[in-house]
Amino acid sequence: MKEVYTLADLRRWPEATAGVEWPLRLAVIGDPVAHSASPPMHNAALAALGLGVRYTRLHLRPDEVAEAFALLSQQGFIGINCTIPHKLTALSLVPQVDPSARRAGGVNTVTVQPDGSLAGASTDGLGFSRAVREAFQLGPGEVRVAILGAGGGAGRAVMMQCAEEGSPRLWLLNRTTDKLAPLVADVNREFPATEIRTAGLTDPEIEAALADADLVVNCTAVGMKADDPSPVPVGFLQKRHRVYDTIYTAARTPLMRAAGTVGAPAENGLPMLLHQGARSFEIWFQREAPVEVMRAALLSVAPR
């Protein structure tokens, strides 16, 4: 089995996957996608439950997604996950989309229906919620939340989940603040009880937001590189903060290290990846996902 397949492979799937022990009927699509930890996680779950299919990676360019979606049913797929930058494209291509995806502004889970049509959902928000509850023993709807990078894909899903669960106040911080106006309008329409405040990513604005927040969530890309600074200056963090970084490419991200210096509990994005993946599994197979099996598989390939 190849580590990564392409659209050319998908066009001739039986030939491209000849000799593979188990049929490849699930995949994650992205650009890039070779780094994805989803295949080990899902393949462990599929093997544990004795399901005779496996999960792989599909590297698709943005202009290849529509054709790939048209081939999914033809090639016998059960479903796919979508990662950057294809979530928004999937939202526009899938004819049946549930409220979770519309609120999140993107589809990360596509299911091939018995009649061959496609249905879309977003499990990012629920994955975030389950991860926060697991890490800090509180729900994101119980506290005031500051979301850095709220204008991006993960940021919108996190924002909507917090509002749906009843967060009394959301601070939305983004480098380009004019991107936040439509998000605020969406939250106000869907969840009018949640108070929204917006700010940029300058130090004074971050400091003011964190002084008024209990849970700090990083949805920016700052921290993906080993030499990145913390997206939040250490002096703005307090021991009372709970800090969640959606980045999972490092065991301890720069933000987590900053939190550690003041004694604030912090977690990286691996549990969010786990729980959004488990929810995708439940959607595809209509059965409980073996979460601990999936967790062990993720930890076995996670950065240390």
225 has catalytic annotation: no
Of the CA atoms within 13 Å of residue 112, those in its CB half-sphere come to: 17
Looking at 160-285, which runs of residues are DSSP E strands?
169-173, 195-199, 215-218, 242-245, 266-267
The answer to whether residues 61 and 30 touch, using CB atoms and an 8 Å cutoff, is no
H or E element in which residue 132 lies: helix 124-136
- Other CB atoms within a 10 A radius of the CB of residue 15 amount to 8
d(CA 115, CA 74): 11
The answer to whether residues 120 and 107 touch, using CB atoms and an 8 Å cutoff, is yes
Beta strands 118-121 and 109-112 are antiparallel
Nearest to 94 by CA among 116, 123, 63, 124: 116
Nearest to 131 by CA among 188, 123, 78, 41: 123
d(CA 289, CA 188): 34
With b for 16 or more beta-carbon neighbours within 10 A and e for fewer, the 124-158 pattern comes to bbbbbbbbbeebbeebbbbbbbbbbbbbbbbbbbb
Q: Which of 87, 179, 225, 239 is catalytic?
A: 87
Provide the annotated active-site residues.
87
